[in-house]
Amino acid sequence: MNFEALPAEEFLDEAQELLQEIEDSLLLLEEEPSSYEVIQRLFRSAHTLKGGAAMVGLTDLANGAHEFEAILSKLRSGTLKSSPQIVSTLLKGRDNLLSLLNPLLSSSPNSSSSKVQKDSTDLPPDESFIEEQPTNEELTPLNRSSIPQSNTYLIHLKFDPVCLEFGQEPMMLLRQLQQFGELKVIAHTSDFPSWSDFDSTKLYLWWSIKLVSDKQLDEIDQLLEFYRGEQSEFLIEAIETPTEDEQEVQQAHQNMLAQISAKDEKNEYSEPSQNPELMEADVVELPKTSQTIRVPVSRLDRLQNLVSETVIRQARLLRLNDAIQATDDQLGEQFLQFVEDNEQAVRELQDQIQQVRMIPVGTIFSPMKRVVRDFANRHQKQIKLDIYGAETELDKTITEQIQGPLMHLLRNAMDHGMETPSDRIDAGKNPTGTITLQASQQQGFVIVEIADDGQGLDPQKILEAGRRLGMVVPDHQPSEQEVLQLIFQPGFTTTKEVTEISGRGVGMDAVKRDIEALLGNIEVSSQLGKGTALKLKLPLSLAIIEGMLIRVGKEMFVLPLLLVTETLRPLPNQQKRFKNRGELIDIRGQYLPLVRLHQRLKIEEAIDKPEEGLLIVVQQGTQKYCLLVDSIEDQLPVVIKSLEEHFVHIPGIAGATILGDGSVCFILDVAAILN
């Protein structure tokens, strides 16, 4: 394990989050230009970014963040008034900061800090940070020298005694403080224990520092923040008149400590560092101990794989039990008890690892606010994005993989769905259109819905385009739902002119494919003049899904349970045959197409008469089909093994799994089989 790599990697994660926070706050600032709170939050984010960047040696990013921060401090002090224009400039600046970060992100997840250092030298010089020079004159002077006022601070540094074990380097902090201004440091040895108690892994030294710097208190505070540990005691105080010699530094320090211990006694706390409420405004606020840890996804993946293996082995144990019971009844009974207990633990383990891998879908919703804002501005449309259920959790990998498709659907909604404000007024609607992004968890699946109140899909136009593109049989008069399904056909488009955002005719088929690759389902519904809605149904996890084990002839397959709506054995009178629609099954007055799986999969010696086998009703898009199988063998959690890396793409097979007896079983790709 490469410990060196950790701080840089963690910083990259953190930096991304900070830049996202900055974007969110900027968009909020646009809505509430005078909100001091928002500016304050922006300032904090930019500041943390700057400190972190400096710490891992990304000077360009640190300088960029510094300039960004300088503008923010003007906003905060009121010398600059927030306006949409300034927000735009800041958004651009934020994008530039992100572009400094991006080359580092694309390198391997194991890139060491030295690599980060090396890469950063290839980055463009600082001047390019804000490309678009702000039109407002007040924005231009961003020199450090423009803040001539210097302050004097007293800093008390007592690190967590075990900080060295975590690889913290007190010297680094001192050097960084040195860069802030003039430094006077006294090291104290009063905490040293007797030699018999001396533990060479612990840090006993502590420091008193006088710093003369043009930095603000909170800037220094932010730096200290990075070094703060559970047991550390960092205090900082600004003093009016600069003290001249070390004696005074110490004196002032004693006063400060005395103050704190006095407060302690009052509040009956023995350890000053453990009570944040005690500090006054000029004393640093101590952070709450973090209750979360960062873990690389690769580690979770490994853990997930191990759990998957355990799930498979559990199934083997069950099989083994049958054999044991056949030879020794009593031993079999004991063994069964054990297997059942173990089953529970394994289920729990599986649930827990799944929980750990879950992240709120809101993480991919947030960047969409910016996309909507920018699009609306550029295309003179008024669009509002409403987000519900952002806290709904979904597997990290799935969340990442639906981001592209969702973005595509959003762009479609903005570009094709939304009318211009004047058109909307003519149609008697609110000039501002609304796009709703909604996530929820239902029966072990996650539903993500994106709906707009735009013009809706015109079935007539779609049908015309479908006929023009030869996707509809000339004499066939399809139902409205069948017409809507046309938008998922490869190459389908109604727009004749291609816009920047969408309309290239690639899209909905790719979206559908992506969702189906996740063993999910996509449905479209639309009302002309009222709007369009697309509903994605997704499994909670990609590693283990609920599956139905079916038999066709002598072969077994797994069907994702997510697609199954019901199972039945039909009576002969439920089977109908229509002229050009093939065989249909009458289920409570609904006629569903019959699909014989053995025909599609070319399996011989399988049941051919529906009344002798079983029908599984599956949902594909909005359409339902009846799949004929010989029998249903089991319903079980299925560990998905990808077949992608192998030589052949197998049509009709989405993946494989391993059954209790160790044999391989295929998971059916229902969408591909039905096409």
Partner 1 sequence: MDFQPHHVLGNFSLLDEEDENFDYQLLHHNGEQWLTFRLGTETYGLEILQVRELISYPESITRVPRLPLFLLGMINLRGMVLPIMDLRKRFEMAEYETGPFTVIIIVQIKSKVIGVVVDSVVDVVNLQQENLLEAPEESTELDSKFVKGLANLQGEMVILLDLEQLLAPDELEQLSMLR
Contact positions vs partner 1 (CB under 8 A): 305, 309, 312, 555, 601-603, 641, 643, 645-648, 650-653, 656, 658, 661-666
Closest distance to partner 1 from the beta carbon of 641 (Å): 4
Smaller CB separation from partner 1, 98 or 603? 603
Say if residues 220 and 236 touch (Cβ distance below 8 Å): yes
* Region class of 33: left (phi > 0), else alpha (psi between -120 and 50), else beta: alpha
Looking at the DSSP bridge assignments, the partners of residue 657 are: 665
Dist. CA 467–CA 214, nearest whole Å: 72
Burial of 66 (0-12, 13-18, 19+ CB in 10 A): buried
Closest distance to partner 1 from the beta carbon of 595 (Å): 14
Structure tokens at 581: 């629609």
Smaller CB separation from partner 1, 83 or 599? 599
Closest distance to partner 1 from the beta carbon of 583 (Å): 21
Smaller CB separation from partner 1, 336 or 665? 665
Closest distance to partner 1 from the beta carbon of 124 (Å): 35
Smaller CB separation from partner 1, 537 or 598? 598
Closest distance to partner 1 from the beta carbon of 545 (Å): 16
DSSP 138: G
Smaller CB separation from partner 1, 12 or 658? 658
Dist. CA 290–CA 518, nearest whole Å: 34
Report which of 462, 617, 466, 575 is spatially closest to residue 524, judged by C-alpha positions. Answer: 462
Closest distance to partner 1 from the beta carbon of 602 (Å): 6
Say if residues 655 and 560 touch (Cβ distance below 8 Å): no
Closest distance to partner 1 from the beta carbon of 638 (Å): 13
Closest distance to partner 1 from the beta carbon of 314 (Å): 14
Smaller CB separation from partner 1, 496 or 646? 646
Smaller CB separation from partner 1, 305 or 377? 305
Structure tokens at 519: 């063993």
Closest distance to partner 1 from the beta carbon of 305 (Å): 8
DSSP string, 365-407: HHHHHHHHHHHHHHTT--EEEEEE-TT-EEEHHHHHHHHHHHH
Dist. CA 221–CA 202, nearest whole Å: 24
Smaller CB separation from partner 1, 173 or 640? 640
Closest distance to partner 1 from the beta carbon of 634 (Å): 16
Report which of 130, 153, 111 is spatially closest to residue 71, judged by C-alpha positions. Answer: 130
Structure tokens at 163: 């900080």
Smaller CB separation from partner 1, 280 or 604? 604
Burial of 326 (0-12, 13-18, 19+ CB in 10 A): exposed
Closest distance to partner 1 from the beta carbon of 541 (Å): 18
Report which of 255, 259, 270, 250 is spatially closest to residue 206, judged by C-alpha positions. Answer: 250
CA atoms within 13 A on the CB side of 436: 15
User: Which residue, chain included where needed, has tokens 């947030």?
Assistant: 366
DSSP string, 268-294: T-S-GGG-GGG--TTSPPPPPPP----
Smaller CB separation from partner 1, 2 or 85? 2
User: Which residue, chain included where needed, has tokens 């391989």?
Assistant: 664
614-620: strand order across its sheet: 564-568, 614-620, 623-629, 590-596, 582-587, 575-578
Smaller CB separation from partner 1, 96 or 308? 308
